[in-house]
């Protein structure tokens, strides 16, 4: 009969091998949001009752609307009512003035 080789568990304080450097390719997760730094400046040429078009991406994009209220803050925004009667809060940089009809 042969003797079995004795094995001992690794010590808990054993030094780890040096980390392998990751390749230089960067991975961008699909859930990452691009932040528009110009949004903080907002637009100062808008006022209550102006007719605007929502040019940003998202809900009601491209629809004409009327500004019902303007709010300041870190990112200025406006509450708009679309021609279909729906309301939405939109950043002021995502609004484009429409020429007055008449």
d(CA 94, CA 59): 12
Could you list the residue range(s) of the whole structural domain that residue 61 is in? 39-97
What secondary structure, in 3-state letters, does 28-93 show? CCCCCCCCCHHHHCCCCCCCCCCEEEECCCCCCCCCEEEEEEEECCCCCEEEEEECCCCEEEEEHH
Most confident of 26-30, 38-42, 91-95: 91-95
Q: What is the pTM of this model?
A: 0.61
The predicted pLDDT at position 26 comes to 72
102, pLDDT greater than 60:
no
CB atoms within 10 A of CB 36: 12
pLDDT of residue 101: 65
pLDDT average, residue stretch 20-35 = 73
Is residue 89, in this structure, part of any structural domain at all? yes
Mean per-residue pLDDT, 19-29? 72
Question: For 36-92, how does the pLDDT look when each residue is reduced to its tens digit (9 = 90+)?
Answer: 777 788 888 888 999 999 997 788 899 999 999 999 888 899 999 999 999 999 999
11 in a structural domain: no
pLDDT value at residue 23: 67
CA dihedral 10, 11, 12, 13 (to 10 degrees): -130
Q: Does 15 reside within a domain? A: no
* Closest by CA position to 48, among listed 24, 81, 26: 81
Tokens linked to 43: 């637009």
Higher pLDDT: 34 or 10? It is 10
**Cα atoms in the Cβ-side hemisphere of radius 13 Å centred on 11:** 4
Domain count of the chain?
A: 1
The CATH number of residue 58's host domain is: 2.30.30
């Amino acid at each position: 009969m042969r003797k079995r080789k004795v094995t001992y568990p690794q010590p808990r304080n054993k030094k780890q091998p040096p980390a392998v450097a990751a390749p230089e390719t960067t991975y961008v997760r699909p859930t990452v949001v691009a932040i528009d730094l110009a949004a903080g400046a907002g637009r100062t040429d808008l006022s209550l009752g102006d007719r605007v078009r929502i040019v940003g991406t998202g809900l009601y994009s491209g629809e004409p609307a009327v500004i019902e209220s303007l709010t300041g803050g870190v990112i200025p925004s406006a509450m708009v009512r679309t021609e279909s009667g729906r309301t939405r809060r939109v950043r002021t940089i995502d609004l484009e003035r429409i020429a007055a009809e008449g």
